[in-house]
A = this chain, B = another copy of it.
Amino acid sequence: MTEPKKPDAPAATGPAKKHAREGKSNPTIYDIAKVAGVNPSTVSRALSKPGRVSAKTQKLIEDAAAELNYQVNQFARALPTGRTSTFGLIVADITNPTFFDIIRGAETTATLRDYTLMLAESEESAVTELTAARRMMATVDGLILASPRMDDDDIRTLARDKPVVVINREVDGVPCVVPDVNKGISEAVRSLAANGHRKVAFVAGPPQSWMSARRWEGMRAACEWSRLEAVRLDSTKPTVNGGREVARVVRDSGATAVLTYNDLLAIGLMQELQAAGMVVPDQISIVGFDDIFGADFTTPPLTTVRSPLGECGSGATTLLLDLLHGMGEPAGILRVETELVLRGSSGRLLPPG
């Protein structure tokens, strides 16, 4: 029917000539139709609308497809339908290990359901993030935003277009996956109180971080409950260096225990305090947040409030899948538990001298 174009161009057409498909392109539903002796549209239905064709024809077509080693052309499918079998995942910083478990959780779950994952990084910038998100929207079926930096409104706008799931932040009207910090924090605070600490400092994360605010709130409440004094200190950046930089302020605060916004801060802080001659945990207890890769490499290994980040990634992906296939608009918030991981960096305060 359709005569294949045979451009016997003698002149080299392009440099990528080597990889050009020379006549032998991939099998299409038309090829299958020919082999099975049916119409292409029947093939299409057999392959994507189970039940629409008779069992006999179905088998015929499936056999032909298997024989030809057929696989759908995702682009040809995406063009009329818009379905791409692809999810987008945007993280603030690819080198931040916090996101690696999230990425892995999302990737694993997506692959399991025959979706692929597109990755982008916002470099901690709301503008870059929005740009990346906009660009992705065109080519994905749904989007996961891990610790997004952009406005709630921007997120809602995106979510009107296609399913969006947010990790590590609550946005009204958008499905979210959020670690419930209270359990882990209260465990941590109780543990500190039990070890005789009276004044605890919180080293905060970026001002615009929703999660940092939640953690500070949770800690203040837990301290009140345990009758501890809580002070809040600012950090410059939520990184190892940021932790180093905040060390002086921590010492000056007079607190004997510190809870930090994340593990990186805790590690940097511990390094700097130790370099200044302080002994952890004898003179000061340090508790991190997230339990990232490497949190147990330190000496002493870091006590930390674990967020099940992998679960967040796979939970968000599952939410997205549910939103797309079948079931309506559950949305709402998926809460995952946090817990204290007690290691060596926290403990009883030794009396000075």
By a beta-carbon cutoff of 8 Å, the part of chain A in contact with chain B is 15-16, 18-19, 21, 23, 26, 71, 73-76, 78-79, 82, 84, 86, 94-95, 97, 100-101, 103-104, 107-108, 111, 116-121, 132, 135-136, 138-139, 160-163, 267, 293-294, 297-299, 323-329
Contact of A139 among B19, B116, B121 (CB under 8 A): B116
Contact of A293 among B103, B139, B294 (CB under 8 A): B294
Known A-B contacts A79-B75, A299-B298; A111 and B120 likewise in contact (beta carbons under 8 Å): yes
What residues of chain B lie closer than 8 Å to A267, measured between beta carbons?
297
In the bound complex, CA of A160 to CA of B18 (Å): 8
B15 x A328 contact (CB < 8 A): yes
In the bound complex, CA of A71 to CA of B131 (Å): 13
B104 x A95 contact (CB < 8 A): yes
A117 x B116 contact (CB < 8 A): no
- Tell me the smallest distance from the CB of A104 to a CB of chain B, in Å: 4
Looking across the interface, which residue of chain B has its beta carbon closest to that of A117? B119
B294 x A19 contact (CB < 8 A): no
What residues of chain B lie closer than 8 Å to A329, measured between beta carbons?
18
- Tell me the smallest distance from the CB of A313 to a CB of chain B, in Å: 10
B327 x A73 contact (CB < 8 A): no
B97 x A97 contact (CB < 8 A): yes
Known A-B contacts A15-B327, A104-B121, A297-B297; A75 and B84 likewise in contact (beta carbons under 8 Å): yes
Looking across the interface, which residue of chain B has its beta carbon closest to that of A76? B79
Looking across the interface, which residue of chain B has its beta carbon closest to that of A322? B15
Looking across the interface, which residue of chain B has its beta carbon closest to that of A128? B111
A71 x B138 contact (CB < 8 A): yes
A-B contact pairs, 8 of them (CB 8 A): A21-B82, A23-B160, A75-B139, A95-B100, A100-B100, A107-B121, A116-B135, A294-B294
- Tell me the smallest distance from the CB of A88 to a CB of chain B, in Å: 9
